[in-house]
Structure 1
Amino acid sequence: MTTVSQRTALTPRHLTRAAERVSFIYLERCTVHRDANAITAQDAEGTTHIPSATIGTLLLGPGTRITHQAMSVLAETGAAVCWVGEHGVRHYAAGRALSRSSALMEAQARQWANARTRLAVARTMYRMRFPDEDPAGLTRHELLGREGRRVKACYRAEAARTGVPWRGRQYVPGDFSSGDPVNQAITAAAQCMYGTAHAVVASLGCSPALGFVHSGHELSFVLDIADLYKTEIGIPLAFDVAAQGAEDVGTRTRRALRDRINETRLLDRCVDDIKRLLLPAGDDRTSTGDDQDVVTLQSDGGREVPSGLNHDDGQDDYERVSW
């Protein structure tokens, strides 16, 4: 009988691109298992099959159990997995990158390692969020100050648009219910956006930790990317949900955000934005070769030489290495 361990490993050719996946799927009070290359969610009402390669992030809520085989296929297909509480979202696991190329990771490291280019990327992020302002020449402190003013102005504008009373941002870590309905909606939207951004960052092979605005945290770059869409999508949607009532704000926010992400094709845009931030204009290295395992060795002068060969200069011919 064929076992899971004997199945052929999936390659990127078999997988759905990150930009074309479902942003996130939330499950609770069920058992998650595997059937071929799909996962199944079984509860008292029956069993639902979900193609694992179409999932961006799987959110596992209270009362869920997941099998080893289900986690195996989710990792193979590059899906991120979050174990979440009743209201919040935390990212605890992720599959391997969908790309086999390290081009974006190396570009991210180069941009991050140089103080000038790191600031340049931070300015570009600000310009992407607020295209009506030119951040050229601004220091980091000035960028943070302007960003803070713009976010406060967004809160006030959305409160005026929806008629929802606004008394300021209030969030107590670990106590979701301490805030009023609009603050609960903002928290739920932000956490879901973090999970979605993490799935895209991981699928492209980037480092979640090397941030350009945020720093010092394992998810700094994830927070950077999620914030690109805060004032455009997250905050307005949270006020819309709060304006509809105070009941079950967290669930309604997650559903509304998932629909909005799909309507705006945000995953596709997120992929393009990350490449725009990290790669020079016209650099298309990530569009080809992503479905191949290409490993080279670094040599002098920026040259790369084939791996799997013995490069002893004393030999007339390269000796192929077998490990």
Structure 2
Amino acid sequence: MEQLSPSDLKAILHSKRANIYYLEHCRVMQKDGRVLYLTEAKYDNLYWNIPIANTTVILLGTGTSITQAAMRMLSSAGVLVGFCGGGGTPLFMGAEIEWLMPQSEYRPTEYIQGWMQFWFNEAKRLEAAKTFQQARISFIRSIWSKDKELKAEGIFYDDSIVGPQFIAFENKITQVDKVGDLLLAEASLTKQLYRYVAQKTSTPNFLRQRDDPDLPNQFLNHGNYLAYGLAACCLWVLGIPHGFAVMHGKTRRGALVFDVADLIKDAIILPWSFICAQEKMTEQQFRQQILQKFTEHQCLDFMFEQVKSIALAHGK
């Protein structure tokens, strides 16, 4: 069988790749120039192909193992690998926070250089954080205005309940002069969105607690980690280390991953966690729904656009 070269494997831009995999109770290996995962059936072993050239992230859950040859091929294709618990959360320690990062010396340098030009200036860092939040609100407005399935659930950006909240937050963005105040305003808005979507999906008395076993909280955790995978992929491709956050705590090595993931979490993860919980979906069904929405609304493209724009604009 013809062997693929690393250049062949990178033919699909990361911003255009469609797949995130979560695997459990299987063995990931290289066979005949392909990456496969092996599951053990009662009477036979089953092999399944992973199209690595169209994959951004692989999450390895409980009961998994991976061979060195498979990791070499995944690295050649620029696929991030993360080790996690059951259901995709939590992420365990790998390299570069939670991810095993492919090695490449040929990533662009202009974005990290632009990022560094503003990052050490506190005022410019605040301006970058505000730009992130403005982009986040614009993305919510765009998705909630055009997604027919959200409209069917009665979720609208300009609803009389949350419309004023969005306007108030946008005004607050321009007024704050400290990152801490921006974080408080962002947390307040997110609480309002939880309350709004919980009301629309008949989820009374919802309380956001990461360790709560109820479906909405489980799905929020799961979906957030999928968003973190996209964010980590975006930053790796652009060559920006995860520690150079503009909003989340600078003492956390992965804080910039959280900043970038926030661009899409409230627009996609938040409403669909409640909708899928209301429909009593399984974790696999929820994950498929989220990945479909990531692709439909070009979430990874949006992340790339925003991070590149901030790096180049604020670094001048």
Query: What TM bracket, shorter-length normalisation?
Result: 0.7 to 0.9
CA contact (8 A) 1:97 1:204 kept: no
Q: Secondary structure at the match of 1:34?
A: strand
Give the stretch that moved more between structures: 12-21 or 160-169: 12-21
Judged with a 3 Å threshold, the aligned counterparts in structure 2 of structure 1 residues 263 and 124 are, in CA distance, closer, same or farther, namely: same
2:34 counterpart residue number: 38
From 172, 182, 190, the counterpart of 2:224 = 190
Q: Which string of whole-angstrom CA distances, capped at 9 and with x for unpartnered residues, describes residues 98-155 of structure 1? A: 9532111111222211111101101111111224414224122331222112101100
How many residue pairs are counted as aligned between the two chains?
A: 271
1:105 counterpart residue number: 112
Counterpart residue type for residue 273 of structure 2 = A
- Give the % identical residues: 25
From 269, 273, 276, the counterpart of 1:234 = 269
From 126, 137, 149, the counterpart of 2:188 = 149
2:55 counterpart residue number: 55
Counterpart residue type for residue 121 of structure 1 = A
CA contact (8 A) 2:27 2:66 kept: yes
1:79-228 to structure 2, matched below 5 A, reads 79-87=79-87, 88-90=89-91, 91-96=98-103, 100-131=107-138, 132=167, 133-134=170-171, 135-139=173-177, 140-172=179-211, 178-214=212-248, 215-228=250-263
1:257 counterpart residue number: 290
Measured in 2, the distance between the counterparts of 1:62 and 1:141 equals 37
Measured in 2, the distance between the counterparts of 1:37 and 1:104 equals 34
Judged with a 3 Å threshold, the aligned counterparts in structure 2 of structure 1 residues 201 and 97 are, in CA distance, closer, same or farther, namely: farther
Q: Which string of whole-angstrom CA distances, capped at 9 and with x for unpartnered residues, describes residues 57-88 of structure 1? A: 01112222211000011112111001111131
Q: 5+ unaligned residues in a row in structure 2: which ranges?
A: 92-97, 139-166
Counterpart residue type for residue 161 of structure 1 = K
Offset, 1:216? 1.2
| 2:57 pairs with 1:22 | no
Measured in 2, the distance between the counterparts of 1:86 and 1:204 equals 30
Judged with a 3 Å threshold, the aligned counterparts in structure 2 of structure 1 residues 37 and 224 are, in CA distance, closer, same or farther, namely: farther
CA contact (8 A) 2:201 2:274 kept: yes
Offset, 1:37? 4.9
Measured in 1, the distance between the counterparts of 2:107 and 2:32 equals 23
2:66 counterpart residue number: 66
Offset, 1:280? 1.9
Measured in 1, the distance between the counterparts of 2:238 and 2:35 equals 23
Give the stretch that moved more between structures: 250-259 or 118-127: 250-259
Measured in 2, the distance between the counterparts of 1:27 and 1:65 equals 10
Measured in 2, the distance between the counterparts of 1:217 and 1:263 equals 32
Measured in 1, the distance between the counterparts of 2:311 and 2:284 equals 34
Measured in 2, the distance between the counterparts of 1:185 and 1:52 equals 26
Measured in 2, the distance between the counterparts of 1:23 and 1:113 equals 35
Q: Which string of whole-angstrom CA distances, capped at 9 and with x for unpartnered residues, describes residues 265-298 of structure 1? A: 11111111111221128x9xxxxxxxxxxxxxxx
Q: Secondary structure at the match of 1:46?
A: strand
1:303 counterpart residue number: none
Give the stretch that moved more between structures: 141-150 or 116-125: 141-150
TM-score with structure 1 setting the length: 0.77
Judged with a 3 Å threshold, the aligned counterparts in structure 2 of structure 1 residues 23 and 211 are, in CA distance, closer, same or farther, namely: farther
CA contact (8 A) 2:28 2:64 kept: yes
1:315 counterpart residue number: none
2:302 counterpart residue number: 269
CA contact (8 A) 1:23 1:267 kept: no
Measured in 1, the distance between the counterparts of 2:180 and 2:117 equals 23
Judged with a 3 Å threshold, the aligned counterparts in structure 2 of structure 1 residues 99 and 10 are, in CA distance, closer, same or farther, namely: same
Judged with a 3 Å threshold, the aligned counterparts in structure 2 of structure 1 residues 158 and 97 are, in CA distance, closer, same or farther, namely: farther
Offset, 1:237? 0.9
Measured in 2, the distance between the counterparts of 1:264 and 1:10 equals 29
Counterpart residue type for residue 304 of structure 2 = V
CA contact (8 A) 2:198 2:274 kept: yes
